[in-house]
């Protein structure tokens, strides 16, 4: 089984400071490759029916980079739609079924998190399945985590697991949100109320590359120096 993939790449990357003065954050290089290429490698390994990316800040650079690679791009204008609005805006391409969403500002060392999600996905019990990283394995992340997971895999808000930015998500609840631009946190809240938000614990390492210091840490992680 495989599912369509949505890569989020519309952010301004303000925490990256000088590194995003002339390029969008997903084009910042780590270990000799743009961040988005690391994400794209993971997506391609599961052979999805399509890969879609939303763009906003300096979209022409990402479009020129991704179009020859077979990635479909959607420019959000005049305003950015955030994760929830951006995903809903892409549904005409992605379809109405479950999708995989991926942030493009984190790197992984270990098994492909998308494959782990697909292997564990059970739509009879789950509206979404999120990949979580134990706080001690989440490099460059501040805090004790976003979710607590029970023995059945159900999530609740609280310390324990850091959301790693990849998930499988049913999209029907997107229609229940009235705002044009909104975070997927609003959809998660609806799923939490139903007891149908689930998570996995990632067995490897993960690094947030949302600020300049994360670039060096991610490169050290990939070279097994941390």
Residue 49 φ then ψ, to 5°: -65, -30
| Total structural domains within the chain | 1
* pLDDT level of residue 210 (50, 70, 90 thresholds): confident
- Residue 77, domain extent: 5-222
Q: What is the overall mean pLDDT for the chain?
A: 95
Phi-psi region of 52 (alpha: psi -120 to 50; beta: other; left: phi over 0): beta
3-state secondary structure of 156: strand
Which residue from 115, 116, 112, 55 is spatially nearest to 80, judged by alpha carbons? 55
pLDDT tens figures, 53-93: 999 999 999 999 999 999 999 999 999 999 999 999 999 99
Tokens representing 22 are: 């002339």
What's this model's pTM, rounded to 2 decimal places? 0.96
pLDDT tens figures, 108-149: 999 999 999 999 999 999 999 999 999 999 999 988 899 999
Q: Give the pLDDT confidence score for residue 27 in this predicted structure.
A: 95
| Residue 115: CATH number of its domain | 3.90.550.10
Q: Give the pLDDT confidence score for residue 76 in this predicted structure.
A: 96
* pLDDT level of residue 224 (50, 70, 90 thresholds): confident
pLDDT higher than 80, residue 17? no
Residue 95 φ then ψ, to 5°: 95, 180
Calpha distance 103→179 (Å, rounded): 21
């Amino acid at each position: 089984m495989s599912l369509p993939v949505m890569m989020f790449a519309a952010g301004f990357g303000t925490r990256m400071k000088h590194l995003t003065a002339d390029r969008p954050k997903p084009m910042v290089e780590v270990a000799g490759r743009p961040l988005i290429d690391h994400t794209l490698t993971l997506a391609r390994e599961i052979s999805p029916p399509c890969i879609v990316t939303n763009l906003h800040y300096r979209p022409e650079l990402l479009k020129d980079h991704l179009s020859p690679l077979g990635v479909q791009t959607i420019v959000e204008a005049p305003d950015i739609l955030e994760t929830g609005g951006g995903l809903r805006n892409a549904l005409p391409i992605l379809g109405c079924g479950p999708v995989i969403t991926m942030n493009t500002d984190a790197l992984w060392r270990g098994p492909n998190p998308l494959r782990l999600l697909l292997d564990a996905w059970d739509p009879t019990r789950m509206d979404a399945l999120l990949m979580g990283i134990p706080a001690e394995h989440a490099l460059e992340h501040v805090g004790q985590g976003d979710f607590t997971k029970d023995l059945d895999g159900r999530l609740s808000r609280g310390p324990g697991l850091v959301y790693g930015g990849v998930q499988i998500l049913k999209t029907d609840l997107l229609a229940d949100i009235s705002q044009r631009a909104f975070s997927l946190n609003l959809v998660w809240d609806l799923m939490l109320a139903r007891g149908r938000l689930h998570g996995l614990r990632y067995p490897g390492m993960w690094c947030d590359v949302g600020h300049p210091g994360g670039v060096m840490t991610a490169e050290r992680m990939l070279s097994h120096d941390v």
